[in-house]
C-alpha cells in the first residue's frame, strides 16, 4: 500500500508580505512564478527563490540604504556581492518611482 504525502507551502510576497498570492505559470528557466493579489503592492509578479542576489527585495533595499549613507556604487556592489553595473539601474529605477509620485 502506497501513501501519498502532500506538503503545503505557504508562499508570501517578498515585497509586501501578503499571503494573497496565486500561481502564474513558469518563467523560461522553469521556475514557478507567482502573482501578488494585494492591491497595495506595487509588484505583481515574483519568484519564490531568486538565484541572482540583485533580484531579491532585501538586497535592493540595502542598496538604497547604503546610497543614502554615502556609499559609492562600486563599494555597494562589492559589499553586497553584485555588479556595480547593477547598482546604477536600481538607483535609476527608484529615482523614476519617486519622480512619478510627485
In the prediction, which pLDDT does 96 show? 64
Q: What is the pTM of this model?
A: 0.58
The HSE-up count of residue 16 (CA atoms within 13 Å, CB side) is 16
Residues 8-57: tens digit of each pLDDT: 778 888 888 888 999 999 988 888 999 999 988 888 888 887 777 777 88
- The DSSP string of 23-92 is EEEE-TTS-EEEEE--TT-S--EEESS-SSGGGSHHHHHHHHHHHHTT--HHHHHHHHTS-HHHHHHHHH
Domain ranges of the chain: 11-49, 51-102
Whether pLDDT at 3 is above 90:
no
SS3 22: strand
Per-residue confidence at 78, pLDDT binned at 50, 70, 90?
A: very high
Amino acid at each position: 500500500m502506497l501513501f501519498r504525502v502532500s506538503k503545503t507551502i505557504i508562499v508570501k510576497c517578498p515585497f509586501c508580505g501578503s499571503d494573497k498570492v496565486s500561481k502564474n505559470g513558469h518563467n523560461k528557466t522553469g521556475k514557478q512564478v507567482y502573482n501578488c493579489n494585494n492591491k497595495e503592492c506595487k509588484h505583481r509578479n515574483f519568484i519564490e527563490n531568486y538565484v541572482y542576489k540583485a533580484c531579491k527585495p532585501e538586497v535592493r533595499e540595502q542598496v538604497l540604504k547604503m546610497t543614502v549613507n554615502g556609499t559609492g556604487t562600486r563599494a555597494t556592489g562589492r559589499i553586497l556581492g553584485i555588479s556595480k553595473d547593477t547598482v546604477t539601474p536600481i538607483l535609476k529605477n527608484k529615482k523614476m518611482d519617486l519622480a512619478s509620485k510627485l
